[in-house]
Structures are given as C-alpha cells and as structure tokens.
C-alpha cells in the first residue's frame, strides 16, 4: 500500500472529543424526516440498516456507507466539498428499502485513506477512477447516481465513459450547464486557475477555514436553526488533519480542468433528458438557481427548485428524498423496458 499522511483514526479527530465526532459520523441525523412530510419508508416499516465498510482499491482503504438489499438496483451517492458521505446520512434511509445505496468517501475525505501528494495525483479525474474501481470491486455493473458539488464532475466522468452503466442521474448544486464562475465570489479562484502561483494559492486558503465551511452550510437557508452545527465542526476537524489543506488546494486548482467534462455532460443531458432530474438549493451563492435551471432546449429535464442553499439535504431532505424516490422509480422502469440498457437517447434506444 502507498504511504499515507498520518491521519486521525475513526475514533479520534484533531481538536475534537473522540466520542462526539465518532458518534456524529456514524449516526443518522436526529431528524431524518422533517415535520410536514410523510416518512419514507412507510410508517411501521423499519429502514434498512446502514453499514460502514472499507474496501482496498488499488492499495487504498476506501470507506463507504452501504444500505439496502444486495440484489436491488444500485444508487451511487457522490458527495461534495468539503464534506464526505456523511452528507447523505439522512437520504440513505429514505432510499434503502428499495435500492442498494452506496456512498463512498473519496481519498482524503471522510474516513478514506489520505495518500501523500507525492504518491497520489489529486484531480477530479483521478477521484473518478477510484470511484469507478470501487464499483467494480463491489460487483456493481449498473447504477443511478446522485451527484453534488465535486460529485458532479466525478460522476459525469463515469457517465461519459460508460453511459450503458448509468440508469439515471439526480443533480444537486454542482456545475451542470457550465461553470458559474463570474463575479466577485469566484475572483480568488479565477486568479488561482490562471497562473497557479503560490500567492494566488494562499489567497484561496480561506475557503478551508471553519468560518468559510460554516458559511457554506448556512448561506441561502431560510431557517439556519435547522442546520446541525456538527456539520462544519466535523468537516473542519477533517480539514485540519496534517497535509489535507494542501490536498484540498490541489483539488480546488483542478476545477479548471472540469470545464470540458461539464461541457460534454451538458450535451449528454440534452440527448438523455428524461433520465436527468435536478433538485437543487436555488439560494446557493456558488450554484444559484438561474445557473441550475435547464435551458430552453432541454424541456424534458425534470427541475425542482428547492428553497435552500448549497447543502440542501440538511434542511430539505424529506422533499428531495421524496422527489428522488419518484424519479428513480420512473427511470428504473424505463431502464427495465429498455431491456437492460443504460441511459437512453430521447426518442430512441441507446
């Protein structure tokens, strides 16, 4: 196995009580289904237990959450920055009665290994390769995806490489029809992407501070009291591990290499509109609703504006979970009628 940066174990994290963080990582949220929405699965039916597992993928220990029947259709949940598969802790029980749900942590995120930068090339393309290798390791041949933030370009690469493996895609707060990188919010990144200089790299470092992480969770939410502060406490603890800050700056720099992938995904969505659903926090300063809304030439894409911010699952999980179940039921039915094929072109078989 490659050398890895010394990291905290699953029971201890820098600067935080071991029991508090370990419990927060393992347990689902205290209120998985907010008031006003029907529980899913139905009342009286216990949700499938979530398992916390690791797999050796190319010499790296990759952590993943898994729940649901082993023979059921697979749903792959791909998390964003700077969090981990923990962001799906409330969504997983809403899907796992009907689907085999798999939510991995990328290298250097969550509980997965943190290989040194000298031993591992930290790019979104490489993270996609690790996720692909994990699916193969787990015997997954076809799957639907739920992608968010970094998970978008990571999942798009899987979709573009092997479209026959993908039955449908749910998109939340991630580049979809282009990179919304205009205006002062993206000024530091734009300068960094232009020359990669140490000066501009340091100027982006504020994105890793506890205040910046907290703001990602709260910006755009109408009721901040619904957002669990454990979110930014845990994410910040993981970012504080030795060497992780430099890894994240590498990945933030690599965003510039996602533009072609996003452009190709846009064209792909145009020809596979019925198998794409967007449920996104429209008040997100990073990926606002106007940037996430399907263009006029893609009227067949299902679009649901959610009154929330970047991490919309934190305060609207019941709504998004219900929409996701409905969408998956439809695309899996379309998948079955397509005689085992993956994503189909609108109006014709793939």
Q: What is the pTM of this model?
A: 0.87
Give the confidence band of 185 by pLDDT, cuts at 50, 70, 90.
confident
Question: What would the pLDDT profile of 195-248 be if each residue is shown by its tens digit?
Answer: 999 999 999 999 999 999 999 999 999 999 999 999 999 999 999 999 999 999
What six digits make up the tokens of 235? 């994410």
Residue 17 predicted with pLDDT over 50: no
Q: Of 21-35, 47-61, 138-152, 180-194, which range is least confident? A: 21-35
pLDDT of residue 42: 57
Residue 21 predicted with pLDDT over 90: no
Catalytic residue (one of 124, 310, 316, 335): 310
To which H or E segment does residue 52 belong? strand 51-57
pLDDT of residue 314: 98
Closest CA to 254 of 163, 170, 128: 128
Residue 255 predicted with pLDDT over 50: yes
Count of CB atoms within 10 A of residue 96's CB? Answer: 22
The mean per-residue pLDDT over the stretch 318-324 comes to 98
pLDDT of residue 349: 38
Determine the Cα–Cα distance for residues 221 and 228; give it in Å rounded to an integer.
12
Catalytic status, residue 310? yes
What are φ and ψ of residue 52, in 5° steps?
Answer: -115, 110
What are φ and ψ of residue 319, in 5° steps?
Answer: -65, -50
Count of CB atoms within 10 A of residue 23's CB? Answer: 11
Burial of 182 (0-12, 13-18, 19+ CB in 10 A): exposed
pLDDT of residue 127: 98
The gap between the terminal CA atoms of the chain, to the nearest Å, is 40
Residue 268 predicted with pLDDT over 80: yes
What six digits make up the tokens of 142? 């076809």
pLDDT of residue 274: 95
pLDDT of residue 43: 59
Determine the Cα–Cα distance for residues 248 and 234; give it in Å rounded to an integer.
16
Question: What would the pLDDT profile of 40-81 be if each residue is shown by its tens digit?
Answer: 665 566 778 999 999 999 999 999 999 999 999 999 999 999
Question: What would the pLDDT profile of 80-110 be if each residue is shown by its tens digit?
Answer: 999 999 999 999 999 999 999 999 999 999 9
Burial of 12 (0-12, 13-18, 19+ CB in 10 A): middle
pLDDT of residue 178: 83
In order of their start, the domains of the chain are 18-337 (3.40.50.1820)
Residue 309 predicted with pLDDT over 80: yes
* Residues in the chain, total: 350
Using DSSP, state whether 166 is helix, strand or coil.
strand
Question: What would the pLDDT profile of 27-36 be if each residue is shown by its tens digit?
Answer: 444 344 444 4
Determine the Cα–Cα distance for residues 110 and 46; give it in Å rounded to an integer.
27
What six digits make up the tokens of 58? 């190319």
Closest CA to 111 of 165, 70, 53, 152: 53
pLDDT of residue 345: 61
């Amino acid at each position: 196995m490659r050398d890895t940066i010394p990291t905290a174990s699953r029971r201890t994290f820098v600067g935080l009580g071991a029991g508090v963080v370990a419990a927060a990582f393992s347990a689902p949220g205290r209120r998985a289904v907010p008031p006003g929405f029907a529980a899913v699965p139905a009342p009286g039916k216990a949700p499938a237990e979530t398992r916390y597992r690791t797999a050796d993928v190319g010499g790296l220990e990759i952590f993943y959450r898994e729940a649901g029947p082993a023979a059921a259709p697979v749903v792959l949940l791909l998390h964003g920055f700077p969090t981990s598969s923990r962001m799906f802790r409330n969504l997983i029980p809403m899907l796992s009665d009907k689907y085999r749900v798999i939510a991995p942590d990328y290298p250097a995120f969550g509980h997965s290994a943190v290989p040194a930068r000298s031993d591992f090339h930290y790019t979104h393309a490489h993270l996609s390769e690790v996720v692909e290798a994990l699916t193969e390791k787990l015997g997954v041949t076809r799957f639907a995806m739920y992608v968010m933030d970094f998970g978008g370009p990571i999942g798009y690469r899987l979709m573009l490489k092997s479209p026959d493996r993908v039955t449908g895609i749910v998109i939340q707060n991630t580049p979809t029809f282009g990179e919304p990188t205009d205006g002062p919010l993206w000024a530091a990144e734009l300068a960094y992407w232009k020359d990669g200089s140490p000066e501009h790299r340091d100027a982006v470092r504020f994105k890793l501070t506890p205040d910046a992480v907290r703001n990602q969770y709260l910006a755009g939410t109408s009721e901040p009291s619904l957002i669990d502060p454990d979110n930014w406490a845990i994410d910040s603890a993981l970012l504080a591990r030795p060497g992780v800050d430099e890894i994240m700056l590498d990945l933030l720099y690599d965003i510039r290499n996602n533009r072609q992938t996003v452009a190709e995904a846009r064209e792909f969505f145009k020809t596979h509109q019925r198998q794409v659903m967007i449920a996104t926090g429209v008040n997100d300063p990073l990926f606002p609703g106007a940037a996430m809304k399907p263009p006029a030439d893609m009227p067949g894409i299902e679009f649901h504006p959610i009154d929330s911010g970047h991490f919309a699952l934190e305060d609207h999980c019941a709504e998004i979970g219900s929409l996701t179940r409905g969408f998956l039921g439809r695309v899996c039915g379309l998948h079955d009628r397509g005689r085992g094929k993956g994503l189909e072109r609108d109006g014709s078989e793939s």
